[in-house]
Amino acid sequence: MNRLFCVIPCYNEEEVLHETASRLEAKIKSLVAAGKIAEDSRILFVNDGSRDKTWSIISELHEKSELFQGINLSKNMGHQNALLAGLMTAKDLCDAAISLDADLQDDINAIDEMVEKYLNGADVVYGVRSKRATDTFFKKFTAESFYKLMNGLGANTVYNHADYRLMSRRALQALSEFGEVNLFLRGIVPMVGFNSDVVYYERAERFAGESKYPLRKMLSFAMEGITSLSTKPIKMITGLGVSIFLVSIIVLIYSLVRHFTGHTIPGWTTTVLSVWAIGGLIMISLGVIGEYIGKIYLETKNRPRFIIRDYIGDEEDVEIANYTYKR
């Protein structure tokens, strides 16, 4: 029987955590009763340096039922690092792991189909939103633009897929081989390969609390993904530079012809516009190159992507996890 772990990164989720735990507990028990997963399957919450009562709630849930486990990170490491911490802990403890957010926007009923596709041979099953009926026009527009921009600039992502996915044990082991400090799991997971499938679901409204991804963070997240996975922006800068150089040759020839035919006219406006346009392009180009240099700087430091302060769970699981961390 396959042991399943549900991995849920949490940051200031005290308002929704009890409801999330209740719904996931019912889902796990129904899958166990149907003979789809093992009785010792677990729900693993990862506390990403929350400043509210999130960790104390996780501890209470574990005390009430061994179904719930918890990881407490040493500080806020960011959503992607917290998610990776949970997945890397689960990879030696389970046959498959499902990652999802704590806000209940991801339809947990899709877990049934994910497990079914896993049992039929899929190593990675992506949860893909079929529509965004609950989103505002602005949210829908920016989210869809995000995926189009990512794919357009060379980051291979699954359209309308966030971090709701199932990964088999061997897919998790393969993921552990990727040593990037700058994490963008939505782009890294497709690189793992193996058999994959898709489950479509309708995204619900957030049960409680506030979104952890406002527009500012979404833009930062997009930049992180693009510069972590693709060199296409630098190639675009090269192409732009070549184009401007070719245009400058044409303008030079035109200017010389005008000069020798006696039709030279002072072009103050054109000169000013050209200086500002080219100056702006240079600054943008330097900014993009700087982003890549910054990424190289962080990668060469090889700092830990997460540091675990506490892990509460089955005694055997804790021993295995501690052994893995020491390695």
Per-residue pLDDT of 189-219, as tens digits, reads 888 888 889 889 887 665 455 555 555 666 6
Per-residue pLDDT of 106-120, as tens digits, reads 888 999 999 999 999
* Cα separation, 138 vs 287, whole angstroms: 27
- Determine the topology of domain 4-212+304-326 in CATH: Spore Coat Polysaccharide Biosynthesis Protein SpsA; Chain A (3.90.550)
For residue 239, give the amino acid letter. G
* Cα separation, 164 vs 224, whole angstroms: 19
> In the chain, what percentage of residues exceed pLDDT 90?
25
Per-residue pLDDT of 279-321, as tens digits, reads 667 767 776 777 777 667 666 666 777 888 888 887 777 777 7
* pLDDT recorded at residue 143: 64
Pair 61, 44: CB distance under 8 Å: no
* Cα separation, 180 vs 247, whole angstroms: 40
Judge whether residue 47 has pLDDT over 70.
yes
Q: How many CB atoms lie within 10 A of CB 193?
A: 11
Task: Identify the residue whose tokens are 């009763």.
Answer: 33
Mean pLDDT of the chain: 78
* CB within 8 Å of 175: residues ≥ 6 apart: 87, 91, 167, 188, 189, 192
Q: How many CB atoms lie within 10 A of CB 267?
A: 12
* Cα separation, 214 vs 221, whole angstroms: 10
**Radius of gyration, alpha carbons of the chain:** 25
- Taking alpha carbons only, the member of 88, 65, 63 closest to residue 77 is 88
* Cα separation, 258 vs 182, whole angstroms: 53
Least confident of 5-14, 130-139, 166-175: 130-139
Q: Report domain extents, the chain.
A: 4-212+304-326, 232-301
Q: How many CB atoms lie within 10 A of CB 141?
A: 12
* pLDDT recorded at residue 289: 75
* Cα separation, 297 vs 291, whole angstroms: 10
